[in-house]
Amino acid sequence: MARGAELDAAPASTNGSAPMASPKIEIRELTKVYEGATEPVHALERITESVAEGEFVAIVGASGCGKTTLLWGMSGLHPITSGSVVLDGEPITRPVPDRIGMVFQDATLLPWRNLKSNIEFPFEIKKVAPDRNRIAELIEIAGLTGFEDSYPPELSGGMRQRASIVRALAQDPEVLLMDEPFGALDAFTRDEMNLLLLKLWEASKKTVVFVTHSINEAVFLADRIWVLTPRPGRLARVYDVPFSRPRELDLHYDRDFIQLTREIKADVQGGTPEGAGA
Amino acid sequence: MSRSGQLEEIPSYESSPGEGHGAASPVDMSSLASGPGIRSVAEVVAIIGVAVGVFVGLEALLILTEVPAYVFPRPTAVVATLFNDFTTLYLPPLLQTLRSFGLGFLIGSSIGLVLAAVITQRPFVEKIIAPYIIVMVTTPMIALVPFLMLQFGFGMTPRVIAVALASGPMVMINAATGFRRTDSAMIALARSYGASTFQIFRRIRFPLAMPMIVVGYMVGSIFGLLTAVGAEMVGGGMGLGNRLVYFSSLVRIPQFGASLAIVAALGVSLYVLFFLVGKRWASWES
């Protein structure tokens, strides 16, 4: 775990420290303005940051700070007003299904398809033969073996979300964008999912951008944490997370873990009035 | 899909899969598409037992009260004429009714389904068209038959048109309710994998609408059958509706009863057909 050691050595730095490797994703001056009911809403203002190859970045912030908007902007699903998102040197203007996988807030399984058919859904859209070995392997790792023929309503919330992660990973994307994927799960299931996600990530070394409203979860999972402040959505601060990998659930009780969580929390809550300046 | 204009929506997951379900449709008979399934042998025995009981009880009652055959037909007499005269008395009218019903329903339901799929894409067009559809759904289309006969003569054409007019709007109004349920999360999912507008329609919107489409076909087919038989009663052809009028005018009550039984069997078959279709293709909802 060279990366872990590297991060261990680096002190929790403050603003926008550039990652050492060449960036996988570069966000330049990303601005997003919505037509609001009365006046334009500045959802995101001039966000500039980058994500290194194989890095796990978490985006946190108060609700309405533009976390999801930023992620959707990175995915190409929603157009941005100005600035750019660049993946390996190529600007993203539309979804890049071969390279970016999305995991959504609710599992978004299609209720008329069974689990296996849901996982094969992206292959159908792309009109390629499903990689059955890979799917079987992922189903095994995700603990879904034996439920291939079950329909989504018959599965628990955790199983549904695991299936949706398997669906994304089966495409073998280089980048995984996750939009509060575990927000709707109970605390125990959430811990379980976090461990599974780390296991999958450590095995595959994909670049992950993970939006969450749980600072705890962000600190537990990520290499770096971006803190957004709302109205207009700005990148207030970037934290390095120094804890070594593989991480265990006990980390939650570590003094430094709690300290870092507290610090970020203060940032998220305090960032609202002064940080905005609008 | 909704890349139209500068007015982008803030991505949200607020909309549930059931959004708009049964909200605006005046004819939401989704309960028709689901029903209690038969579970055990005891249930089957009970159901058959009651049916036999009704049959025998009615026969016994008619014998005991000495009701004449021209007032009410005995079940045995109806069954007898059905068996003895099926190919001569009943098969030709049945085929004729099936032809005008089948053709009218095929045309009406196809137009209704396509219109529903197209119109729900354009809310403005939908608002303009909706009142006319509601008028068509609520007006009994049999009322048009005399007028249609004036235009198209005594052949099959007026009946086919009447059936199409009766079933089409019914299919459309229910299918439109189905197509109106859009699930933004599912569509975003499909788009994130590069789905085209057509793929989104075929893989997301159509299956999502399927339960309501089946309901539309079920209700539409029964309305269509009603209109087909009614149109035959009003005039033209030698279908089952015409036979009902003919036999009752001659007080051939067992034959009347047999024709009625065939019409009833047709209606039940349609119901069962679409019930099974719903079970196969749209059972995920219940």
Is residue A197, in this structure, part of any structural domain at all? yes
Enter the CATH code of domain B81-281. 1.10.3720.10
Is residue A104, in this structure, part of any structural domain at all? no
User: Which range of residues forms the domain containing residue A113?
Assistant: 109-172
Residues A125 and A248 in one domain: no
Residues A89 and A220 in one domain: yes
Confidence of residue A185 (pLDDT cuts 50, 70, 90): confident
Residues A179 and A48 in one domain: yes
Please give, rounded to a whole number of angstroms, the shortest distance from the CA of A177 to a CA of chain B.
Answer: 11
Q: Which two tokens stand for residue B159?
A: 């009946």
State the pLDDT at residue B35: 54
Q: Which of A195, A66, A113 is nearest to B284 (CA)?
A: A113
Given the structure tokens 């009704």, which residue do they identify? B54
Residues A91 and A7 in one domain: yes
Query: Last residue of a domain, which of A172, A203, A221?
Result: A172
Residues A187 and A133 in one domain: no
- If you average pLDDT over residues A117-135, what whole number do you get? 91
pLDDT for residue A3 is more than 80: no
Residues A139 and A262 in one domain: no
Among the partner residues A95, A101, A105, nearest to B191 by beta-carbon distance: A95
DSSP symbols for A173-228: -SEEEEESTTTTS-HHHHHHHHHHHHHHHHHH--EEEEE-S-HHHHHHH-SEEEEE
- If you average pLDDT over residues B169-185, what whole number do you get? 90
Give B29 or A52, the one with higher predicted confidence. Answer: A52
Mean pLDDT of chain B: 84
- If you average pLDDT over residues B2-26, what whole number do you get? 38
DSSP symbols for B77-94: HHHHHHHHSIIIIIHHHH
Is residue A51, in this structure, part of any structural domain at all? yes
- Lowest average pLDDT, out of A26-30, A31-35, B24-28, goes to B24-28
B8 touches chain A (CB under 8 A): yes
Please give, rounded to a whole number of angstroms, the shortest distance from the CA of A79 to a CA of chain B.
Answer: 8
State the pLDDT at residue A260: 93
Interacting residues of A16 by C-beta distance below 8 A, sequence separation 6+: A48, A49, A235, A238
Counting residues of chain A whose pLDDT is more than 70, the rounded percentage is 90
Q: Which two tokens stand for residue B43?
A: 């249930």
Confidence of residue A233 (pLDDT cuts 50, 70, 90): confident
> Which residues in chain B are closer than 8 Å to A34, comparing Cβ atoms?
8, 10
> Which residues in chain A are closer than 8 Å to B205, comparing Cβ atoms?
none
| pLDDT tens-digit series, residues A162-174 | 899 999 989 889 9
| pLDDT tens-digit series, residues B127-144 | 888 899 889 888 888 889
- Give A25's strand partners: A51, A87
Q: Helices then strands (H, E): number in chain A?
A: 9, 10
Residues A186 and A238 in one domain: yes
Among the partner residues B13, B17, B192, nearest to A105 by beta-carbon distance: B13
Among the partner residues B194, B207, B285, nearest to A97 by beta-carbon distance: B194
Please judge whether A78 and B191 are an interchain contact, meaning their C-beta atoms are less than 8 angstroms apart.
no
- If you average pLDDT over residues B259-272, what whole number do you get? 94
Residues A168 and A186 in one domain: no
State the pLDDT at residue B37: 60
Residues A54 and A123 in one domain: no
Is residue A217, in this structure, part of any structural domain at all? yes
Bridging pattern class, strands A234-240 and A224-229: antiparallel
Q: Which of A237-251, B29-43, B58-72, B165-179 has the highest mean pLDDT?
A: B165-179
C-alpha–C-alpha distance, residues A219 and A223, integer Å? 8
> Which residues in chain A are closer than 8 Å to B6, comparing Cβ atoms?
35
Residues A247 and A177 in one domain: yes
Interacting residues of A92 by C-beta distance below 8 A, sequence separation 6+: A74, A75, A76, A84, A85, A86, A100
pLDDT for residue B8 is more than 50: no
Contact A69, A32 (CB under 8 A): yes
- Lowest average pLDDT, out of A58-62, B16-20, B277-281, goes to B16-20
Query: Last residue of a domain, which of A172, A191, A224?
Result: A172
Given the structure tokens 């809310």, which residue do they identify? B123
CA-nearest residue of chain A to B1?
Answer: A77
Give contacts of B 160-179 with A, CB under 8 A: none
pLDDT for residue B6 is more than 60: no
Is residue A211, in this structure, part of any structural domain at all? yes
3 state DSSP class of B42: helix
Among the partner residues A68, A78, A125, nearest to B193 by beta-carbon distance: A125
Residues A124 and A82 in one domain: no
State the pLDDT at residue B189: 92
Given the structure tokens 């569509």, which residue do they identify? B187
| pLDDT tens-digit series, residues A144-165 | 899 999 999 889 888 999 899 9
Please judge whether A75 and B195 are an interchain contact, meaning their C-beta atoms are less than 8 angstroms apart.
no
Q: Which residues of A have a CB under 8 Å from any CB of B?
A: 34-35, 41, 43, 68-69, 72, 75, 77-79, 95, 97, 100-102, 104-106, 108, 110-112, 121-122, 124-126, 151, 153, 171
Confidence of residue B1 (pLDDT cuts 50, 70, 90): very low
> Which residues in chain B are closer than 8 Å to A110, comparing Cβ atoms?
186, 203-204, 207
For chain A, the 3-state helix, strand and coil shares in percent, each to the nearest 5, are 40, 25, 40
Residue A22 belongs to domain with CATH number: 3.40.50.300
pLDDT for residue A90 is more than 60: yes
Based on the structure, what is the number of domains in chain A? 2
pTM for this predicted structure: 0.78
pLDDT for residue B217 is more than 90: yes
- If you average pLDDT over residues B231-244, what whole number do you get? 88
Residues A245 and A257 in one domain: yes
pLDDT for residue B80 is more than 90: yes
Please judge whether A112 and B207 are an interchain contact, meaning their C-beta atoms are less than 8 angstroms apart.
yes
- If you average pLDDT over residues A71-76, what whole number do you get? 90
Confidence of residue B284 (pLDDT cuts 50, 70, 90): confident
pLDDT for residue B155 is more than 50: yes
CA-nearest residue of chain A to B186?
Answer: A108
State the pLDDT at residue B210: 92
- Lowest average pLDDT, out of A267-271, B158-162, B263-267, goes to A267-271
Give A83 or A22, the one with higher predicted confidence. Answer: A83
B189 touches chain A (CB under 8 A): yes
pLDDT for residue B61 is more than 70: yes
State the pLDDT at residue B264: 95
Query: Last residue of a domain, which of A146, A172, A198?
Result: A172
DSSP symbols for A72-132: HHHHTSS--SEEEEEETTEE--S--TTTEEEE-SS----TTS-HHHHHHHHHHHHT----H
State the pLDDT at residue A1: 38
- How is chain B split into domains, by residue range? 39-68, 81-281
- Lowest average pLDDT, out of A230-244, B7-21, B230-244, B245-259, goes to B7-21
State the pLDDT at residue B103: 97
